[in-house]
Each structure stands twice: as structure tokens, then as C-alpha cells.
Chain A
């Protein structure tokens, strides 16, 4: 059945119109304009960004609207006409929504009513920017015009690009040549070449040695945080990603590691002033043991008991640390100050550069451990428990011990991250160990690709690195997280980089075929092509 292009356009336009109004109501129009200003190398110093950046922002929204309207499934022979019609109507509807909003709020502001009493983010400045610093009627008309025009033009361009044979062949050629280069024999030889790989590792190593020295304190701080979250993500991945046991209160083990380390090295509550490395090891061990103790009573049960118990445990830990009861022992709500830094052969080693090195080494060590565990029988047993615990038990896996081991290792790794965190900040307090930390870690593991080590790196950069860099959207972090999680669940439920299973049979079969050419795969009664039996 052929749906009318105008109706398609109206549907798309309504969605974009609603998004537009929502963005205005939460003040995101201003933030968007600011971001564009920043990207174009002209950050606003005093509050509001320039009007031109707001116009660019609106045009971008309009372009997006037009492109997605033109992208709706087409439409028979007059696809160009239909798509342009769809783009035009989408832009008109979106512009209408914006114009009505602009007109209402513009008139309200013109009568000197402060809307901020009801909607915190809608300041008079943002209203006046929304109507292009004009009076309400003119602003509304301008809004309508900008949205319609940009949507219409973008739909036109999109259709041209898609239908034009020339451009299509050009795109196909370039993508073809790119994939050819990627898949060419030379490249794959290069990837399989031992020396080329060592060369690559060497380049990465040199970069990791040089970069912390050159890029300054701010970047060391940002990437130090990212590194600590990578460690946390790799740790959580063991119990949640591989063994499949959801742990919500993961921050409890982080807190135990941090406080063990802090209390052993800080002068104030106990004046122990232990050596950095011994305290670090003890922080790891104590966190690991706490994981073991938490797991003992509950890991024999199935279901999400572990999630609930650890959630409670993490809150108990945080409240205990805050309470007066333990103030003499843990420093109470004020936390522990002057936590010791690392030393190397008796000399101090705690500049931000040195600390970056320690975090890099810790990340490398933990990823190495994770990699080795992933490929071991233990790792396979964890995945088996995750996929079907009943059957895993029946194939001879002691699920309880396996899960306990996974939890203890996870907790120990969280302890390492906590100790490093406390030492780097030279402080740790109850507020460092909010539940949000654990939620962040779960998010980054899910977004990056659950069960996959490179995915966790990507997730940590995306969720901890980007917000640090894009300070403007700090207030919208929860919103962005929510949207990101929903979008991920819809589009890529396995994360950006989903976990892959290793190739084991082919690997050995290839080796065999080089020595024994008589052997050939694919025989007997399985003539069904692989992958078709779904």
C-alpha cells in the first residue's frame, strides 16, 4: 500500500516538533548553540552564545528533520517529488510547533512574566533567543520559515544524493576501495605478521609513555578518571558480563578498597603511614575478601538476589562511613584527608604524570588478567553459567564456586580502582562512593558491549571521557544516559562492540589441512548451509 508522502512528512515533522519544544523547555537550545560555538572555535565567555550559533543549531535540526522525512520508504516513480513533498510538510509541521511555542513564550515574556517560576530552564534570554531577538509574531514567522526552508532544502539534497547515479557510483567506489584495502591480502598479512604487531605495540607503548608528559594536568586528570573507570568496568564485567550475575552495589567494593588504602596511609585517624604498595595490595585483598563473604550466603541461589544484596550492602557501607558511630575510626562525613601517594625506591612518585603512569599500568595489568581469564576454561565456565546455569551444573561445573571466584575477582579489581582513586585525589569520603558510581559502571559496560574487553574501553571513554570534555552538558548527563541506554537497547542491544566467540575449530582445522591435505571439512548428513537453520 502506498502511503501518502504528506502524511509521512507530517508524522516525522510532529516527532521533530515535539523534540524541538522539549529541547526548548529544558533549555537545551541554549546549550546546543553554545556547543556549536565551541566547536566552531568561539566559546561564549559571558553566558549566552551568539545568535548565529542558535540559527545554525535550528538549521541543523531542520536538516535532520528533512533528511529523515525524505528517508521514509518510497514511493514509486515520482520518488523525488514525493520525498521533497515529505520534507516540506515535515519542516512545516516542525516549524509550526516551534513557531507556536515561540509565539506563546514570546508573548508571555513580553508581558514581563518570569516563566522560570514554573520552568527552571526557560530564562528570558533563552526565550528572546528562541524568537531571534524579535517580537513574538515576527520571531514565530522566522522560526517557521527557517525550519521549513532547511527541511525542504535538505530533503531535496538527500533525494538528489540518493537517486543520482553518479554520486551513488562514487560512494560505492570509495566504500568498495576502502573495504578492499581493509580486507586485502596485504593488510591481513600485516595484521598476522608478528613483527608488524610488535611494531604496533611499540608505537602504542611510546604514545602511552610520551602523552602523559606532554598533554598537561587537565588531560591527565580526565584520562586518569577514564582509566579508573576502565578498571571498574573490567572488574564488573567478570561477574556481570561473563558470569551473568547482576551486581548493582559494585561501589561497595570500590569504597572498601579506597578506605582500606586511605586509613592505612593517611596521618589523621590512625597515623599508620604505610608504604603505598603494601597498602594497595591490602586494599585489593580486603575488597576481594569482602566480595567472598558477600557471595558465600547468596551465590547458591539463582536469580537476582545478588543485585539486591549488593545494593543494600553498598548503601550500608556508605551510611556507616557517614555515621557518627565510626567517626573515630573512619573520619566520618568529612572523610580521610592527606591519603598517601605512591613512592618508588624511597622517593616520592606522585605528580600527576607519575600517577597517570600508574593508572596506565594498572589498566594494562587488569586487561591482561581479563584477557587471560576470558580465554581460559574458567572464563568459558562463567559464560556457560550465564547462558544456562542448570545445564552448566549438569556438565560438571561447580557453579557456586565459579560464581564466588568471579565475584571475589571483581571485588578485588574494584578494590584496586578504589585505592588508586583515593590515592590520586589524596582524599576519600562517603560522597565519593555514591550509588551513582556503580550505575555509571553498569552503564558503561552495557553501552560499550557487555562481555567484551575493547567495548569496555570504548564505553569508559564515551561515558566518562566525553562528559568531562563536554562540560556544558553536565546538567543533562542523566537525560543523555537515559536516552543513550534506550537507544542502545533498541538499536544495538549487545553494545557498540558486542562480544565475539573465539574461532577454535577452524583455527585447528587450518593447521591440520596444511599437514594433511586429504582431510576436508563439511561431510556426512549436514548438507544444510550453516546459519540457515535459525
Chain B
């Protein structure tokens, strides 16, 4: 199913000439990015390339100095983070950031926050609205726990869960608000190959089953090349390449960004040697 997945015609998120400047440092420099609905798009680049900064601009932590961020036709740059969340953009973090002293299911319930309409007065007099929402929130929490494979662990404190479970709980919390766009910041960081495979499958199932557009930052090239419909490469805050996995693999600029100037000749030598070795073996 994954290879035949049809991308929607509509553009989910688009950045137009987005720049973010910290003092004298231009962390993100006029980056154009366009992700169609239903795609899995990756942002890659060496350390300090501005990938997470771009994420932070999209999710509203930073207000970009220049440019526009457009989410389904609506400009969202400079909006407060909580309103960005309520538009339907959810994210996870490079270093897992759960509400560590809350239980797993509570984390998911808090994730549903923008959908709640009952206020504190409702809570005090325990109106029907409050009771209904509470019931729905718990049921939804249970459903999501099951979806990410954490059923039965919901009443454990988030801090006590194993590492992989915390990653998935973080995604469950992001899903709780029924987002249309999910930003994943290095979802397979610190995982062994088996866990990474599982996570890759899981990310693909998010798109296939829930129809969520996914934008992810990832360093594991195997994952990136495996699941991405589209890859954007950043280096020193500037977009240096964009395209399908196959195109990126052979892009000279990308190879230079990762391996330094002359890197392409290095890889040529490497490939030559590889061929020779194969020849010898065969």
C-alpha cells in the first residue's frame, strides 16, 4: 500500500522565504518548503543546519523575521503556540518531552485540550458538558493507548515507561488533538534497528490509516530513504536540495554538505573501490 499511496492535490503546509535570525546568525535563511496533503516529507541536514529551528517556526515557538508559513491557505507565522496547536499541528520533540509526573493516559487527555469546551465553572458544578467531555476524553485516551500499543500501561507514570514506549506515548499525545499535520523531530533517535523498523512502520501507518500529513526530521538515512515521499536538505539554514529520495542520494551539493568539499570525489573513489572489491570477490 505504501508505494501506491496517492498524494492529495491540496497543499498542507507551505513556507515561503522563511528566515529566522538569532543576533548575527541566520539560523534559517529564506527556506521554501511545500508539503502536499497526505505526504511523508523529511528534512535532513548536518547538525546545526536549522532543521529544528524551522520546526520551531512552524509550531509557533519562534516568530520568523521574514516570510510566510501557510497551513491550508491560512497564514500562521507569529501565532501563539497554543493557537497553532488548535489549528491542527502537533509535534514531538528530539529529546522526549512528556509530562513525566502524570500518567500515560493523562498525557493523552492533556493532548486533547484544544477540543475541550468545558471551563472551570463547569468543573466546579460538574455540568453534563463536563461529565461528557471527561468520559469521551478517557475513552479516546484508551483508544489511542491501544493504537500505539501501550494498552494496560496507561496508569503508569510517564517517567516510568521504557524508552520506546515513551516515544510512542509522545506520538499518542500529539495524535490526541486529531492533527492534520504531525511534526516529528527525530522519532527514531536512540533506538536499535528493530525498534527503528517498528517506528518506521508505525509512522507509515499513521499516514495510511489516519491520513495525517507528516513532516519529520531524521538522521537515520535508512529511515529517510525508506519512507519519504519528498526530502528537503538544509545546510547552514539554506535549502540546498529538494526531491525524491533517489534524486537526493546522487545530489552533489548534499554529498558535499555531509562530507565537506571534495566529498563527491571521495564518494566516487569509494564507489570505485567498492566495485573493485566486488570484482575481486566475484
Contacts and interface: CB of A to CB of B under 8 A. Distances in A.
Contact of B86 (A377, A387, A396, A525): A396
Contacts of B91: 394
Interface in A282-311: none
Contacts of A392: 99, 110
A531 B155 CA distance: 11
A398 to B, nearest CB: 5
Contacts of B139: 508
Contact of A378 (B100, B120, B157, B159): B120
Contacts of B162: 526, 528, 532-533
Nearest to A383: B102
B159 A369 contact: no
By CB atoms of chain A within 10 A, which of B59, B60, B105, B176 has the most?
B105
B159 A534 contact: yes
A334 interface: no
Contacts of B100: 387-388
A505 B145 CA distance: 9
A465 to B, nearest CB: 28
Interface string A156-179: 000000000000000000000000
Contacts, number: 164
B57 to A, nearest CB: 13
Given A387-B99, A396-B86, A523 B149 contact: yes
Contact of B82 (A379, A398, A533): A398
B120 A530 contact: no
A508 B142 contact: yes
A506 B154 contact: yes
Interface string B85-129: 110001101000111111111100111011010111011101000
Given A383-B99, A501-B101, A505-B155, A526 B149 contact: yes
Nearest to B122: A376
B149 A524 contact: yes
Interface in B127-184: 130, 133-134, 137-139, 141-142, 145, 149-157, 159-165, 173, 176-177
Nearest to B85: A396
A380 B160 contact: no
A56 interface: no
B72 interface: no
A384 B154 contact: no
A18 interface: no
Contacts of B93: 391
A384 B60 CA distance: 19
Contacts of A526: 149-150, 153, 162, 164-165
Given A369-B124, A533-B165, A505 B159 contact: no
A390 B61 contact: yes
Nearest to B198: A525
Interface in A382-405: 383-384, 387-388, 390-399, 405
A373 B99 contact: no
Contacts of B111: 395
Contacts of B114: 395-396
A91 to B, nearest CB: 44
A7 interface: no
B80 interface: yes
Contacts of B59: 394
A372 interface: yes
B146 to A, nearest CB: 9
Nearest to B97: A391
Contact of B152 (A521, A525, A531, A534): A521
Given A508-B142, A523-B149, A526-B149, A377 B118 contact: yes
Contacts of A509: 142, 152, 154
A504 interface: yes
B185 to A, nearest CB: 11
A522 interface: yes
A45 interface: no
Interface residues of B, number: 64
B81 interface: yes
B154 to A, nearest CB: 3
A503 interface: yes
A381 B110 contact: yes
Interface string A390-430: 11111111110000010001000000000000000000000
A377 B149 contact: no
Contacts of B161: 530, 533
Contacts of B159: 534
B123 A377 contact: yes
B120 A387 contact: no
Contacts of B109: 377, 380, 504
Nearest to A399: B82
A531 B156 contact: yes
Contact of B151 (A379, A405, A524): A524
Nearest to B145: A505
Interface string B70-86: 00000000001110111
B165 A522 contact: no
Contacts of A390: 61, 81, 97
Which of A373, A394, A397 has most chain B Cβ within 10 Å? A394
B103 A505 contact: yes
A399 B61 CA distance: 13
A508 B142 CA distance: 8
A530 B99 contact: no
B90 to A, nearest CB: 8
B99 to A, nearest CB: 4
Contacts of A531: 156, 160
B85 A394 contact: yes
B99 A391 contact: yes
| Of A369, A373, A377, A525, most B-chain CB atoms within 10 Å | A377
A393 B151 contact: no
Contacts of A525: 149, 164, 198
Q: What are the nearest 5 A-B pairs in CB distance?
A: A505-B154, A533-B162, A376-B123, A521-B152, A396-B114
17 contacts: A373-B124, A377-B118, A377-B137, A381-B113, A384-B99, A384-B102, A391-B93, A391-B98, A393-B80, A393-B85, A394-B61, A395-B173, A502-B106, A522-B152, A523-B149, A523-B151, A533-B160
Given A398-B80, A505-B103, 18 more contacts: A372-B124, A373-B123, A380-B109, A384-B99, A388-B100, A390-B97, A391-B98, A391-B99, A393-B81, A394-B61, A395-B113, A396-B114, A502-B103, A505-B105, A505-B138, A509-B152, A521-B151, A526-B149
Interface of B: 59-61, 80-82, 84-86, 90-91, 93, 97-106, 109-111, 113-114, 116, 118-120, 122-124, 126, 130, 133-134, 137-139, 141-142, 145, 149-157, 159-165, 173, 176-177, 198
